[in-house]
Amino acid sequence: MSSSPGKEKIFSELYDLKEDLGKGAFSIVKKCIGREDKIEYAAKIINKKRLTGRDISKLQKEEKICRQLQHPNIVLLHDVISESFTHYLVFELITGGELFDEIVAREYYSESDASHCVQQILDGIAYCHRMGIMHRDLKPENLLLASRAKNAAVKLADFGLAVQLETPDQVEWHGFAGTPGYLSPEVIKREAYGKAVDVWACGVILYILLVGYPPFWDEDQKRLYAQIKMGRYSFPSPEWDSVTKEVKELISLMLNANPKKRIKAEEALRNPWICKRTEVASNIH
Ligand code: ADP
Ligand code: MG
């Protein structure tokens, strides 16, 4: 992480902006090249003009959280530049695109590939949770692939909604936040919640990886939320028939509607379908 004390940094003096890489609800992400080191980065650019004081404090939270995180499965923050009207978070460039697009391209993953992918997501989540950080917005759009290779590393991105917990197992109402299909029952019920929300989202992602469609879905948001609150999902035939009972069991542990009984990220990493992939995960599906 480079930081120069004293003089305020100006983005255009330090980086040369290139093409768009992606867009989120709050930002535009563009490729840029360091003028000095000639290395390519990804700059998350946030226009401050339309932001309220509260939004600005959220930006500072994202920066503070990203500065702490150094893990092979988490996008590394390189630099932060704050100009009067624009805020720049400069990250390592991840070139394989979003997991979202990879699922769309492949339609679905084999169990073995899904196990490898989810192991990396869980590794990243378990690390965050050890640091007392919950992500709150895990979904395939916020998971990036290190390269186009089949077994490319997966990296957690977008800590824009992440929360630094006051105590490791803090359970509190931190506001209604996340993405509809990935929201946990406790958030929808507006109950106190904690790190278990990330494991729920990871369960939704695992389900999607295996069949290409989500466990909870309805065009009508009220009905979608009703499904999630009841924890009502199924493994429809025929596509789930070739899926092992071991991964269905793991999904049910992650999608336990009771956050107290839901499996922890650390425990899920010890689940045989994850850690004994070659013996347990099917190569047929
Ligand atoms: P938002 O908070 O607005 O959703 P994100 O941090 O999710 O912003 O970034 C938006 C998109 O930009 C991502 O979904 C991804 O496609 C792309 N992106 C983000 N960070 C990187 C990166 N380090 N390398 C390459 N692309 C990135
Ligand atoms: Mg995002």
Considering the chain, what percentage of its residues have pLDDT values greater than 70?
Answer: 98
Ligand 1 pocket (Cβ < 6 Å) reads: 21-27, 29, 42, 44, 75, 91-94, 98, 141-142, 144, 157-158, 160
> What does the pLDDT look like over 143-155, one tens digit per residue?
999 998 888 999 9
Residue located nearest, by CA, to atom 19 of ligand 1: 29
Cα(96) to centroid(ligand 1), Å: 12
User: Using CA positions, which residue lies closest to atom 25 of ligand 1?
Assistant: 94
Instruction: Indicate which residue's Cα is closest to atom 15 of ligand 1.
Output: 22
Q: Are 119 and 274 in contact (CB under 8 A)?
A: yes
pLDDT > 90? residue 131:
yes
Query: Confidence class of residue 3 from pLDDT cuts 50, 70 and 90?
Result: low
State mean pLDDT over 119-123.
Answer: 98
Report H helices in 131-220: 185-188, 196-211
Global pTM value? 0.95
Which ligand 1 atom sits nearest the alpha carbon of residue 141? 14
Residue 91 tokens read as: 């990250």
pLDDT of 158 reads: 96
Helix spans in 109-150 (H): 111-130
Q: Residue 254's pLDDT is what?
A: 98
**pLDDT (tens digit, 9 = 90+) per residue, 199-236?**
999 999 999 999 999 999 999 999 999 999 999 999 99
**What number of other Cβ atoms are within 10 A of residue 219's Cβ?**
6
Cβ proximity of 114 and 282 under 8 Å: no
- Provide the pLDDT for residue 5: 60
The active-site residue out of 113, 137, 158, 198 is: 137
Give the tens place of pLDDT for each residue, 28-79.
999 999 999 999 999 999 998 888 888 888 889 999 999 999 999 999 999 9
Amino acid at site 82 = S
